[in-house]
């Protein structure tokens, strides 16, 4: 016997969909952390090795990768990306519609 579950299409930012405060910033941080996790995995690093690279402890890396990253600023997370030899580029352009401008994270494939 299976239970019926309603499924609906969500907006890309689940934090906004849930009505959480600072949803845009939280979503951006989550995308950066996902990229840090991808880089750690791609380099086959342990959490301790990733922590050494970023200047934080293994338990901090563990918390970061489990989604506990509110205490980190976007700037600090971007600095972690540079610790993985990544360039971080900020591009400003006129908005393409909607009520206001927004921030987008894009992974540039090599």
Domain that holds residue 19: 14-83
pLDDT, tens digit (0-9, with 9 covering 90-100), for 31-69: 999 999 999 999 999 999 999 999 999 999 999 999 999
Predicted confidence (pLDDT) at residue 92 exceeds the cutoff of 90:
no
Task: Kindly state the average pLDDT of the residues 88-110.
Answer: 80
9 occurs within a structural domain: no
Q: For residue 65, tell me if it sits in a domain.
A: yes
Q: Place 110 in a pLDDT band, splitting at 50, 70 and 90.
A: low
- Assess if residue 77 is contained within a domain: yes
5 inside domain: no
Q: To which residue do tokens 């990733």 refer?
A: 50
Give the CATH number, domain containing residue 32. 1.10.260.40
Residues 6+ apart with CB under 8 A from 88: 78, 81, 82
Calpha distance 106→74 (Å, rounded):
15
Mean pLDDT of 88-106: 82
> Phi/psi zone of residue 29: left (φ > 0), alpha (ψ -120 to 50 degrees), beta?
alpha
pTM for the model stands at 0.82
Q: b/e string for 41-55 if b means 16 or more Cβ within 10 A?
A: eeeebebeebbebbe
70 assigned to some structural domain: yes
- The answer as to whether 90 is a domain residue is no
Number of domains in the chain: 1
């Amino acid at each position: 016997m299976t239970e019926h579950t309603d499924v609906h299409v969500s907006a890309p930012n689940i934090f906004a969909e849930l009505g959480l405060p600072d949803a845009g910033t939280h979503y951006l941080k989550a995308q950066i952390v996902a990229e840090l996790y991808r880089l750690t995995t791609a380099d086959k690093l342990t959490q301790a090795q990733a922590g050494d690279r970023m200047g934080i402890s293994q338990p901090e890396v563990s918390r970061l990768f489990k989604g506990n990253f509110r205490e980190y600023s976007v700037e600090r997370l971007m600095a972690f990306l540079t610790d993985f030899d990544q360039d971080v580029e900020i591009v400003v352009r006129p908005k393409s519609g909607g009520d206001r401008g927004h921030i987008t994270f894009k992974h540039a494939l090599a």
